[in-house]
Amino acid sequence: MADIIQLLPDHVANQIAAGEVVQRPASVVKELLENAIDAQSSIVKLIVKDAGKTLIQIIDDGKGMSTTDARLSFERHTTSKIRTAEDLFDIHTKGFRGEALASIAAIAHVELKTKLELEEIGTYLKIEGSKVLSQEVVVTPKGTSVSVKNLFYNVPARRNFLKSNNVELRHIIDEFHRVSLAHSNITFSMFHNGSELFNLVQSNDRQRIVNIFGNKTNEKLIPVEEQTEVIKISGFVGKPEFAKKTRGGQFFFVNSRFIKSSYLNHAVNSAFEGLLREGTHASYFLYLDVDAKSIDINIHPTKTEIKFEDEHTLYAILRAAIRHSLGQFSIAPVLDFEHNANLETPYSYKDKQATVPIVEVDKMFNPFQDETSPSRRSTTYKKEQTAGWESLYIGLESKGNIPDHELSQVQFESDHEMLSMFEDKDTKSELRTFQIHNKYIVNAIKSGLLIIDQHRAHQRVLYESFLQSITIEESVSQQLLFPLSLQFSTIEVATLQGLKSQLQLTGFVFSKLDHDEVELTGIPVSVIEVNVSNVLEQLINDVEHQVPDSHFSQSDLIAKSLAKSLAIKSGQKLTVQEQEHLVNSLFACKEPSITPLNTLTFITLSGDDLDKKFR
C-alpha cells in the first residue's frame, strides 16, 4: 500500500493551533495585551467593535519590532522570549510559546504597524489566513499596533459558536480587568463601539482596583502584606460585610500573571471562616511573588493555571496573612454603611446567623409584617389582584388531582362562572387556613385538602405581577423619602443599563445609572428598601448566568429573578390574613399550579386519598 501520511501545510497547522489559543475574541485580547506588556509598554489602548467580532485593535508604545522581526513574529514557534529548554523553567514574560500571532493570523484579517524607537520609519504588514498580502514602510509612532478584523472569517463553525455580543464583551472586559489589575504601573484604556469604557491611568494596585470597580470599593478593601523567604504577598481582601453572592471579585496574580487556583481560593476562604454571611463570597485581589523557578506555568494552553513547588507552605502563609489582616481590621470601629442596616433585618436574613460580632440583630423585628405583608400592601396595588374568595378555588374541582406530567399543560381559568369549590358561599367566614412548619398553608376544600408551598406560591404571584407590569407598561412604585445610592461596579451598572427600561416598568425609578453610580428614588412596592441591593445583585447574577440563546425574553428573566428574591421564604410565619391573601392571589394567577421555574406550588389530597389512609 502506498504511503499515506502527509505533512500538513502550514496554514492548516496554524488553523489547528489557533483552536488551542483562540477560543473567542477575548483570547485575542489577552494575547495581544500580554504581548504589549512584554514589549515594556507604558500606555496600552484596546479598541473593540461588536464585542471583538468585527475589530480588536491594540496599540502600544512599547519597544516595537524591526521589519524582519515583524515578518517572523507571525511564523509559528517564533518568539523572542525563550531560547533554550532551560528558559522554560525561569519565565519572566507572559508569552513564550511563540504561537499567538501565528494562530491569530490564521483565522482573521490582521494588520500590523510597528516601529523601533530609534528608526525613522516603521513596517506595515497585512496578513489574511496566514498569507502576507502586503508589506510596506509606514510612518507610525514608536511601538506596535495590531488590528484583528473579522475573527474566524474562514472558520464558520467557530464563528457561529460565538455567543451574543453581551457575553463576548463580558469576556473581553474580564481579560482587560485581569491584565490591567496585574499591571497598575501601565496606563490602559478600552473603547467599545466608539465609547470609552475604561481609562486607567498609571497608579498603584489600590487605585487601579478602585478605578475599575468604582470609588466606593476603596472603603471595602483591607490590605494584606506578608513577606517570607518563599513568597511575597501584597494586595487586598474585601471586608466581610461587603461579600457578595457572586464570585466576581476574586483575583490571584502570581508574578503579575492572573491565575485561577481553587487550592489558594480555599486558603482565602478558610481565613474568612465564620465571618461571611451564608452564600456570600469574599472578594480578594492578591498579588503573590514567587521565584519564577518555583512555578510551572506551562501546564495549561491558555496559561491561567499554574503549578507551585510547595503548595502547602503557600496555603499556610496566605491563610495566616489574611487572618492577621482581618484581625487587625476588626478593631476598627465604624462600619461604613450608607444606612444602618444593623437596625433593620431584611426578612431574607432573619433566620441567618449574624456573623460579624458587632452587628446586633433585633431578632424580634419582622419587616415582612410591616413592609411586605401582601395584606397591608394591597392598598398600594393599583389593581387588586383577586376578585375575592370566590376566585380562590375556581378550577380546582374539575381538575382534582393532577398528575405531574399534565401540570404544564393545565390552564386554570379564572372565569367566575366556574363552580366554587365551597359547599356554600356563606361558610367562607368559617373557613380557615393553617400554616404547617411555617412553610405550607393548608386548607380544607370541597374535594379534600389543599396544601400550598408558601414560598413557591408567592413566587408565582410576584412573577405574574411583575410580568404584567412590564408587559402592560403599568408600573407601580413607592417613592423613597431619600434617594438610595448603591454600590455596583461599572460592569454591573452596564448590565443594569441594559435592563433599565424593563426595570422601570417593575417600579424602579433610577435617578442615576452610569459608570459606577446607581441612585434610586423609587422602588417596586413589593421590595423593601434594605433589600434593594440584594435584589439587584441577584438580578445581575441571573442575567450573567442566563443560558445563552435561551428563548425567554429579558422581561421574563427579570420577573423570574425578582420573584425569586422577593418571595416570602419558608420559615416565615404568616398571619391568617396573610395566608388567605396569598392563597387568594395565587388562584387569581393565570397559572397557579406551578412556579415560574416549573415546580409545583400546591398539591391536593382528595377525600379518596384520605379514605385510603384510614383503611
100 binding Mg ion? (CB under 5 A): yes
Least distance from C-beta 95 to ligand ADP, angstroms?
A: 2
Q: In one letter, which amino acid is 60?
A: D
Query: How would you classify the pairing of strands 477-487 and 509-514?
Result: unpaired
DSSP-H helix ranges across 133-185: 156-161, 165-182
301 binding ligand ADP? (CB under 6 A): no
Q: Which residue is nearest to Mg ion (CB)?
A: 95
Q: For the sheet containing 433-436, what is the strand order?
A: 433-436, 440-445, 448-453, 602-606
103 binding Mg ion? (CB under 5 A): no
Closest CA to 450 of 491, 401, 490: 401
Task: Show contacts with ligand ADP in window 449-468 (CB under 6 A).
Answer: none
Cell triple for residue 124?
506595515
Largest CA distance in the chain: 100
DSSP-derived secondary structure letter, 281: B
Question: Could you say which of 14, 57, 73, 506 contacts ligand ADP (CB under 6 A)?
Answer: 73
287 binding ligand ADP? (CB under 6 A): no
60 binding ligand ADP? (CB under 6 A): yes
Phi and psi torsions of 528, nearest 5°: -100, 150
| Distance (Å, whole) CA 483 – CA 288 | 41
User: Could you say which of ligand ADP, Mg ion, none residue 240 binds, taking C-beta under 5 to 8 angstroms by partner kind?
Assistant: none
Q: Please, how many CA atoms are within 13 Å of residue 406, restricted to the half-sphere of its CB?
A: 8
On whether the CB atoms of residues 200 and 189 are closer than 8 A, the answer is yes
Measured from the CB atom, the residue of 35 and 250 that comes closer to Mg ion is: 35
Measured from the CB atom, the residue of 101 and 530 that comes closer to ligand ADP is: 101
The helix (H) or strand (E) run that includes residue 522 is strand 517-524
Measured from the CB atom, the residue of 37 and 48 that comes closer to Mg ion is: 37
Binding segment toward ligand ADP, per CB under 6 A, in 100-108, 353-361, 366-374, 400-408: 100-108
| Distance (Å, whole) CA 149 – CA 157 | 17
Binding segment toward Mg ion, per CB under 5 A, in 93-101, 113-121, 253-261, 510-518: 93-101
Is the dihedral angle over the CA atoms 416, 419, 424, 430 positive or is it negative? Answer: negative
568 binding Mg ion? (CB under 5 A): no
65 binding ligand ADP? (CB under 6 A): yes
User: Could you say which of Mg ion, ligand ADP, none residue 79 binds, taking C-beta under 5 to 8 angstroms by partner kind?
Assistant: ligand ADP
CA 259 to chain centre: 19
81 binding ligand ADP? (CB under 6 A): yes
Binding segment toward ligand ADP, per CB under 6 A, in 28-36, 384-392, 476-484, 506-514: 28-36
275 binding Mg ion? (CB under 5 A): no
Measured from the CB atom, the residue of 36 and 486 that comes closer to ligand ADP is: 36
250 binding ligand ADP? (CB under 6 A): no
Q: Which residue is nearest to ligand ADP (CB)?
A: 95
| Distance (Å, whole) CA 226 – CA 506 | 48
The helix (H) or strand (E) run that includes residue 258 is strand 257-259
Least distance from C-beta 187 to Mg ion, angstroms?
A: 20
Closest CA to 37 of 219, 184, 154: 184
Least distance from C-beta 147 to ligand ADP, angstroms?
A: 12
Query: How would you classify the pairing of strands 295-296 and 195-200?
Result: unpaired
Closest CA to 344 of 366, 328, 316, 325: 366
Measured from the CB atom, the residue of 79 and 561 that comes closer to ligand ADP is: 79
Measured from the CB atom, the residue of 52 and 507 that comes closer to Mg ion is: 52
Task: Show contacts with Mg ion in window 23-82 (CB under 5 A).
Answer: 35
Least distance from C-beta 6 to ligand ADP, angstroms?
A: 26
What does the binding site for ligand ADP look like in residue numbers (CB under 6 A)? Answer: 31, 35-36, 39, 60, 62-65, 73, 78-81, 95-102, 144
